[in-house]
Amino acid sequence: MSRWFTRAVAGGFTAMAMALGAHGSAVARDLVVGLKTEPSSLDPQYHSLTPNTQIALTIFDPLVAADNQLKPRPALAESWTVDGNVWTFKLRPNVKFSDGTPFTADDVVFTFDRVPKVPNSPSPFTLYLKDVAKTEAVDPLTVRITTKGPSPLLLPNLGQLPILSKKAASGAAPEGKTTTELNAGDGLIGTGPYKFVSWKRGAELVLARNDNYWGKKPVWDKVVYKPMTNAASRVAALLAGDVDMIEDPPTDDLPKLKSDKNLYVQQTPSVRVMYIAMDQFNEVSPGITDAEGKPLAKNPMKDMRVREALSLAIDRKAIEDRVMGGVSKPAGNLLPYPMFGASKTYAEAPKADVNKAKKLLADAGYAQGFNITLGAPSGRYINDSKVAQAIASMWSRIGVKTNVEASAPPVFFKNRDSYKYSAYLAGWSVTSGEMSNALGSLAVTSDPAKGLGTTNRGRYSNPAMDKLYMEAATTMDDAKRAELLSKAADMVMADYGLLPVHFELSVWAMKKDIRYAGRSDQMTEAQDVTLKQ
Question: Do the domain assignments include residue 6?
Answer: no
Q: Which residue has the higher pLDDT, 268 or 77?
A: 77
DSSP state string for 281-348 = S-SS-TT-B-TTSPBPSS-GGGSHHHHHHHHHH--HHHIIIIISTT-EEE-SSSS-TTSBT--GGGSS
pLDDT above 70 for 402? yes
Rounded distance between C-alpha atoms, residue 422 and residue 281, angstroms: 10
**Is residue 14 a part of any domain in this protein?**
no
Is residue 115 one of the residues assigned to a domain?
Answer: yes
Strand (E) or helix (H) holding 133: strand 132-139
The CA-based dihedral angle spanning residues 98, 101, 106, 111, taken in that order and rounded to the nearest 10 degrees:
-30
With respect to residue 13, please indicate whether it lies within any of the assigned structural domains. Answer: no
The strand pair at 30-35 and 222-227 is best described as parallel
> Residue 5's pLDDT is what?
33
- Check: CB of residue 455 under 8 Å from CB of residue 441: yes
The H-or-E segment that residue 358 falls in is helix 354-363
Confidence of residue 234 (pLDDT cuts 50, 70, 90): very high
275 plus 232 within the same structural domain: no
Q: Which band of pLDDT confidence, cut at 50, 70 and 90, is reported for residue 293?
A: confident
Same domain, 517 and 395: no
Judge contact between 318 and 390, C-beta under 8 A.
Answer: yes
Rg of the chain (C-alpha set): 23
Q: How far apart are alpha carbons 91 and 74 in whole angstroms?
A: 9
Q: Which helix (H) or strand (E) holds 79?
A: strand 77-83
pLDDT over 70, % of the chain: 94
- Would you say residue 23 has pLDDT above 50? no
For 141-273, where are the alpha helices, taking DSSP H only? 154-158, 166-169, 179-183, 231-239, 254-259
pLDDT for 25: 43
Same domain, yes or no: 232 and 282: no
Q: State mean pLDDT over 463-479.
A: 93
Mean pLDDT of 387-401: 97
Q: Same domain for 255 and 301?
A: no
Asked if residue 408 and residue 299 are part of one domain, the reply reads yes
Q: Is there a contact between 192 and 208 (Cβ–Cβ < 8 Å)?
A: no
What pLDDT sits at residue 470? 93
pLDDT in tens, 493-528: 999 999 999 999 889 999 999 999 998 888 999 999
- Give the domain CATH number at 155: 3.40.190.10
Classify residue 168: in a domain, yes or no.
yes
My answer on whether 346 and 454 are in the same domain is yes
Q: Which of 487, 416, 25, 382 is nearest to 219 (CA)?
A: 25
How many Cβ atoms from other residues are within 10 Å of residue 461's Cβ?
A: 17
Mean pLDDT of 412-438: 90
pLDDT band for 448, please (50, 70, 90 cuts).
confident
- pLDDT reported for residue 11: 37
| CA 453 – CA 441 distance, rounded (Å) | 4
Residue 26 has pLDDT above 70, yes or no: no
Calculate mean pLDDT across residues 170-198: 97
Return the top range by mean pLDDT from 116-125, 352-361, 450-459.
352-361
Looking at the structure, do residues 392 and 499 belong to the same domain, yes or no?
A: yes
The pLDDT-based confidence of 28 (bands split at 50, 70, 90) is low
Indicate the burial class of 359 (C-beta count within 10 angstroms; 0-12, 13-18, 19 or more): middle
C-alpha separations of 316 from 63, 74, 303, 310 in Å: 39, 39, 22, 12
Q: Based on the structure, what is the number of domains in the chain?
A: 2
Average pLDDT over every residue of 35-48: 94
Length of the chain: 533
Torsion of CA 71, 96, 104, 93, to 10 degrees: 70
Closest CA to 374 of 352, 408, 403, 334: 403
Are the C-beta atoms of residues 50 and 429 closer than 8 Å to each other? yes
Q: What are phi and psi of 227, to 5 degrees?
A: -70, 125
Average confidence score pLDDT of the chain: 91
Distance between CA atoms of residues 193 and 7, nearest Å: 25
Which pLDDT band, with edges at 50, 70 and 90, does 183 fall under?
Answer: very high
Q: Label each residue of 231-264 as H, E or C.
A: HHHHHHHHHCCCCCEEECCCHHHHHHHHHCCCEE
Report d(CA 375, CA 285) in Å as an integer. 13
The residue type found at 198 is S
- Per DSSP, 137 falls in state E
pLDDT digits (tens, 9 = 90+) for 321-335: 999 988 899 999 999
Amino acid code (one letter) for 321: D
Share of the chain above pLDDT 90, in %: 78
Residue 441 lies in a domain: yes
Please indicate, yes or no, whether residues 235 and 305 belong to a single structural domain of this protein: no
Same-domain check for residues 257 and 284: no
Other CB atoms within a 10 A radius of the CB of residue 487 amount to 18
Domain span at 339: 270-506
CA distance to 77, 243, 311, 364, 515, per residue, from 194 (Å) = 19, 19, 44, 56, 19
Residues 402 and 309 in one domain: yes
Both 337 and 482 in a single domain? yes
Do residue 311 and residue 333 come from a single domain?
yes
The verdict on residue 336 lying in a domain is yes
β 222-227/64-66 pair status: unpaired
User: If you average pLDDT over residues 279-294, what whole number do you get?
Assistant: 90
| CATH number of the domain that residue 499 is part of | 3.10.105.10
Q: Tell me which DSSP letter residue 173 carries.
A: B
